[in-house]
Homo-oligomer: A and B are copies of this chain.
């Protein structure tokens, strides 16, 4: 699990005085970037070095409590599942002990030509939490 701090700026809020619902997906992106970075697998390098991309094929958010301007949120990102050619990330967004939102994204693994491609072993070995079998 990876924790990412997120400070809500004005530009994230809407006129209801809460974070606009699309911006949670921006937060989720920060979370999985940091998840990858902490495991030595920069998303930037996946494209450059392994020749694969991981486009989002599904995104889901459950909005439980509003988040507000200047809140310091903590996003917990976990690897939900590694398939042969896909990966799922799960997200929990909190303000202290209050759960603000949960959600997930599912990513396909594609090569540069846009074809489905098996997740490289050099990647999965880094992402796999120790002691867990293949997803």
A70 touches B10 (CB 8 A): no
**Number of contacting residues on A, CB 8 A?**
37
Q: Which B residues are CB-close (under 8 A) to A29?
A: 9-11, 21-22
**What 0/1 pattern do residues 44 to 69 of A give for CB contact below 8 A with B?**
10000000010111111111001011
A85 interface hit (Cβ, 8 Å):
no
B63 touches A60 (CB 8 A): no
Q: Which B residues are CB-close (under 8 A) to A44?
A: 69-70
Q: Using known A-B contacts A58-B61, A70-B42, determine if residue A9 contacts B26 with beta carbons closer than 8 Å.
A: yes
User: Which 5 A-B residue pairings sit nearest by Cβ, starting from the closest?
Assistant: A22-B25, A13-B15, A15-B17, A21-B56, A11-B26
Within the assembled complex, what's the spacing in Å between the Cα atoms of A110 and B31? 30
Q: Which B residues are CB-close (under 8 A) to A61?
A: 58-60
Q: Which B residues are CB-close (under 8 A) to A16?
A: 10, 15, 53, 55
B30 touches A26 (CB 8 A): no
